[in-house]
Structure 1
């Protein structure tokens, strides 16, 4: 039996990236379907077909497994826009977030993560890490905007990310209403007005 398990583990290591993506997919499916309370490594092993000893060797706890599933899975990823303007980038960013949340599977993952974050400190920490990771990935968008003079260098980009994501989550997840071009346009225009005011204040401080 020991030799059999060892062979399975070695096979898992040789196909690590593919197996890990399968584990991540199974983890997010279980989180969406059962929530954080009922989520177990054993359940992930059964769903993914990967031996649980292999999973435990890669991730000693379910929190560490969920962290990597949220951060590394392609399920919640999208390419960063580069339209040549901040308003264009924010409009594209809103559209891509909407695209993710329009998928029932992805929407269920996000909802389960947010509900878990309210109830469990461990899940809240995972969601915080996910948001910080996404903010870091979005940083080039804001760096380009600063270089173009569209954004004050001292403006915290997290304000814009939270404003866009928060508005979309409330609209799509709470109110259950679709996004229209008018909604997205008004949201970005409102943010652009605020950015313009912040840029003017920064100019007066420098003057």
Structure 2
């Protein structure tokens, strides 16, 4: 076991180990059965040290979800909103295709339905990810593909929700045709509201 000085000296590496342990246990046991003691045993860090950094498991899970590399990915810049959304969908699919990551996401969503604390964690995670995706929509506005006052949240929710429902609930296969049709539907809605490049404002 390590004390607080060891954790501070280890810096990001020790925190990464704690985050990994927390998400591993979330995916394997679910929110109800996850404990700080279990995280301490799995990560090799003394539980009193973890409690000094995170007074509750919900606070630990919040940081783990936001900062662990497990659920992170790089955004692509393809030169068009259609291409960027397609790439974003592919990144989401890659997360859900991985059995371990899928288990973590499922456990988080199930916990969000049953527990207010977990619901707040998931909302924080989704808000954080929407903020990270903002460059996609800023570029689309600059290219005239979206109106300046466009709210990207419904667009992201529609895409992610469709993929989550398809994979996590229906347990269906996501083919290239499905992704193409999904992005096509989203783009159809977007182009109805986007101004024509160079056209005068109404």
Distance 1:199 1:205 in 2: 12
Distance in 2 separating the partners of 1:87 and 1:153? 17
The 5 A counterparts of 1:105-116 are 105-116=100-111
Q: Distance in 2 between matches of 1:180 and 1:126?
A: 31
Partner of 2:122: 127
Paired with 1:118 and 1:8, the residues of 2 have a C-alpha distance of: 35
Q: Deviations over 1:157-194 (max 9, x none)?
A: 00111011001001111111121111111111111110
Q: Which of 18, 22, 27 is residue 23 of structure 1 equivalent to?
A: 18
TM-aligned CA distance change 1:154 to 1:24, over 3 Å: same
Q: TM-score normalised to the size of structure 1? A: 0.93
Aligned to 1:86: 81
Given the alignment of the two structures, is residue 168 of structure 1 paired with residue 163 of structure 2, yes or no? yes
Partner in structure 2 of residue 50 of structure 1: 45
Number of aligned residue pairs: give it. 201
Aligned partner of 2:59 among 61, 64, 70: 64
**Who is 1:158 aligned against?**
153
Task: Tell me the equivalent position of 2:131.
Answer: 136
* Structure 1 residue ranges (4+ consecutive) displaced by more than 6 angstroms after TM superposition: none
Distance in 2 (alpha carbons) for counterparts of 1:205 and 1:166:
35
Runs of at least 5 residues in structure 1 that lack an aligned partner in the other structure: none
* Deviation by residue 1:38-93 (Cα, 9 ceiling, x = unmatched): 11111100011111111111111111100000000000000011100000000000
1:200 is displaced (CA, Å) by 5.1
Q: Which has the higher helix share?
A: 1
Gaps of 5+ in 2: none
CA RMSD of aligned residues (A): 1.8
CA contact (8 A) 2:40 2:46 kept: yes
Contact 2:146 2:195 in 1 (8 A): no
**Aligned position for 1:98:** 93
- Aligned residue number for residue 179 of structure 1: 174
Q: CA deviation at 1:14?
A: 0.4
Provide TM-score, normalisation by structure 2: 0.95
